[in-house]
Structure 1
């Protein structure tokens, strides 16, 4: 039996798909980059590993559903996706538990306070309070873990297998900002319980971050503080970040215990 030719996402020339419409639609969404405003359907198809015909067809369906919308120079993420994304944030137990701590830190420090988690080899920002205009980080966005203070804080308190897995992925991501922390740097972060921005010499901001730990001592998230470079000595705020992280850890633990008792 002859196997039909398929594109990388599993779509056959006739439109049938082993991977399914949902997977191909997600590939289109994942093809958007933070700097994109509008992208041509053919370019999205190329990034997603789809044929032009498959990509155009899926994009048209997504426009009809409001997932994407047409712009002057292609298509962009639609308002419906923004609405759905807001629902995810609103119902995230971690975000809800963290908001009071984030607000207090922003008021105390006058800086931008971030809540982030590790997903794959990236940190994903669940919430940003008092954001700095023009900053590369944004709520719902992601950056390579090795390029951020939050990423270093989380990596230092992650299992060795997680660190090793991410380290193997860094060389394949070109251009790859930042660098993986050395064993000595990981030990230092573990000892002082905070990380500084590994990209401070390249960015217009400086950052410090602390891990939010689970009862076993592994990081479930990070709290980070950012200020424009040279405006403040961020190390003076580390104790406040650490107190907030401990408070959030306790709040998450109590929430988990209540859920177990009610189940």
Structure 2
């Protein structure tokens, strides 16, 4: 009987945590606060259950009850976000995504950031194929040529106003940086829409055919979306692009 009670208590504890997460997840971009009815509608939970869970969240400073009776996310979430950002290092996350891209596309994968009027390759995983694009970590390349360079120019708020960003978070170039090289790149965002870098694949132009570009583009978009989410950015722009038929990319 004691074992049964312990299992029941653990199950109840897990359910309580899941309810708390459901309430926190109810908040969306642009929400300043939500009332009880809105929380109930978005979570599918009874109002009485929400009130009990919210009381615990308020005690832990994860939510705040405003004077008008609505609820707002609390300061503890900002504190946790700060701890996460302080511990976040690109080299803990980027290489794994590059290896995944190489495995899926067969082409070399790179991560670039802007350095003045140039772009620098911070991370690189080579293609296993003998004929490939030869880029090394630390290489400096033009900012105005090549898919990754264009991404760093077109999606950097310091260079381009957001209203002038390309419609899709993806740029494909063939023979631009070098006559026999093709590339596909997408931006990687951090918190507040900051541009963290450009994720790219590159290789011989002959392998960037009209038949292969759509599937390779999907791989790049998915990796950029997942890495953006991992770095605390908003991946919604990628979700929309990934949903587009490959032939439209």
TM-score normalized with structure 2 length: 0.50
| Larger Cα-atom Rg | 2
TM-score normalized with structure 1 length: 0.47
